Structures are given as structure tokens and as C-alpha cells.
Amino acid sequence: MGKNIVFKTQEGKNDVIKHYDLFLQKWALSYEKFYVNTRYGKTFIIASGEKSNPPLILLHGSGMNSVMWLRDIKEYSRNYRVYAIDILGEPGKSDENRPTLSGSYYAEWLKAIFDDLSLKKANVVGISLGSWLAIKFSVTYPEKVSKLVLLCPSGVGKQKKSFIFKAIFYALLGEKGIDKLYYKVNGDQPIPEEMLKYQKLIGKNFNYRKETIPIFSNNELKLLTMKVVLFVGAKDIMLYSDKTARRLGGLLPQAEINIIAEAGHSNVNDVNKIIAWLNLNK
């Protein structure tokens, strides 16, 4: 496992975490924040909702942290006990260990969190890399997952190789180009100014993963016997959404497949639709 590879500098890390705390301070909702110690590293968690409610795990994407869920947690926590988890090796408050995506390291890490929180079973929602982790955990410990929500998941359909060239092109155009790239990732939809600034702050100070995200085999995906819903964006410039939808739908007859025509990679997260599906499939 790599140590101290997530942030480019300590100063940059401090800046990212300072703004993380500012987001939490502005959040007008009752919540708890705490750490869980695992053999793979200390993990930061934001929890909200009545402890007697069914548990719901939120797993963010790469290059982000649980700040991305703050607007959604208010809605989720009406009926669920929500745990937003900062993934190891990402620009959040969890340890800067970055286990390889090969093997079962991340699944075992999440299992340790379930054990520490005394969760026998939970609903799991993941986006992008968080969806990959949700699938990895669900095929490794299927008995631990009640329902699985996959938002533009990595590991089902292939990544678009053209994205890296687009990212380089827009980066060469300076700040306006970077703004345009985030706009494209968001399905040609605007991003709230505060969140756009935070994404750019992370991009300036974060060392992105260079490891190729593994593709799950057919046999692995067939282990997803729980209720599954998929949301992908037709305008995703990072992943082949159509191939993801066809493959998952073909392998999992019980899965509900949704292709959102006007969505890209980062804006398929419609909390009201997700809650409606979770409540319908109790």
C-alpha cells in the first residue's frame, strides 16, 4: 500500500480539508462525524438519521470525498441511517493509504467498517469508483447488501480512452478549459459555483489514480443476486454507458436499468428517484 501519495503537498492537503470543514459547518442538518480504525487505515465517516432506521452506505467517486453527498443526505436520512464514507486513497479525511484495486483489499476494508458499525446488512449507493467498490463488496460479501444502487459504475463497461486526451486538451486552455471539462463531465450542465471551485481545488492538489480500474467478469457480476438499480448518463464522456447498461441488464434479470438522456458522468445522482426505488423495493 502506498502512503502519503494522495496529496501533492501538505499545504495543499490542508487547504482541501479546510474547505471540507467549511462545507460541513454550512450544512444545516444534525450529523455525527467520526473515524473507524481498520487494518488498511483510519476511515472518516459522516453519519445522519435515526440509528433505528435501515442503514444506507454512500460511496463517493474518485477525486472527491463525502462532500458530494451533503445535499442528498438530508433526504436519505428521513428514512435511513446514512453513513457517508471517505474512501481510502482519495482526497478526503481518511488515511492516505491506497491499496491496489486488484485483489480484495477494498472489500475487506469496507467489511471491517460494517463490523465496527455492527451492520449485519445495509443498502449501498455508489457513484463511479464508489460504484466499483460497491460491486466489489457486494460480490465478495453478498449477504451484507440489501439493495445496490449503481451510479455510472466503473468496472462494468470499458472506460473511454478518448477522455484522457480531452482532459489534456482542455487543461492546455487554462482555467476556462478546466471549467469546460467539468461542464462536459456533468453532461453539459452547469455545476454550482461553490462545488466547481472545490473540484478545481482538489484537482490542483490531488494525485489522481493511475491504476486501471479492473473490469468485473460475468461470473462475478452474476453474484449480484440482491435487488439492483443502475443509473447511467447518455452523455457520459468517461464511460461507455450503453455498453454498461446492456451488459448489466443481460447478466442480471432482476436489475432495473435507467439511461438518463440528458445526464453525463457526474449528474446521474437523482436522490428522489433513488429513494423512490429503495422504498418501492423494501
> Could you tell me which CATH class the domain 10-280 is placed in?
alpha beta
Q: Which of 155, 157, 160, 158 is nearest to 134 (CA)?
A: 155
Q: Is the pLDDT of residue 117 over 90?
A: yes
Q: What is the pLDDT of residues 201-212, one digit of tens each?
A: 999 999 999 889
DSSP letters spanning 3-51: -S-SBS-HHHHHHHHHHHHHHHHH--S--EEEEEEETTEEEEEEEES-T
Average pLDDT across the chain, whole number: 91
Q: Is the pLDDT of residue 1 over 60?
A: no
Tell me how far apart the alpha carbons of residues 33 and 223 are, in angstroms, rounded to a whole number: 33
Among 95-99, 170-174, 266-270, where is mean pLDDT lowest? 170-174
Q: What is the pLDDT of residues 121-179, one digit of tens each?
A: 999 999 999 999 999 999 999 999 999 999 999 999 988 777 676 777 667 667 776 77
DSSP letters spanning 198-233: HHHHHHHHB----SPPPPPPHHHHTT--SEEEEEEE
3-state secondary structure of 151: strand
Among 69-78, 98-107, 265-274, where is mean pLDDT lowest? 265-274
Q: How confident is the model at residue 267 (pLDDT cuts 50, 70, 90)?
A: confident
Is the separation of the CB atoms in 156 and 214 below 8 Å? Answer: no
pLDDT of residue 282: 67
Side chain identity, residue 85: I
**How distant is the alpha carbon of residue 243 from its chain centre?**
20
Burial class (CB in 10 A: 0-12, 13-18, 19+), 110: buried
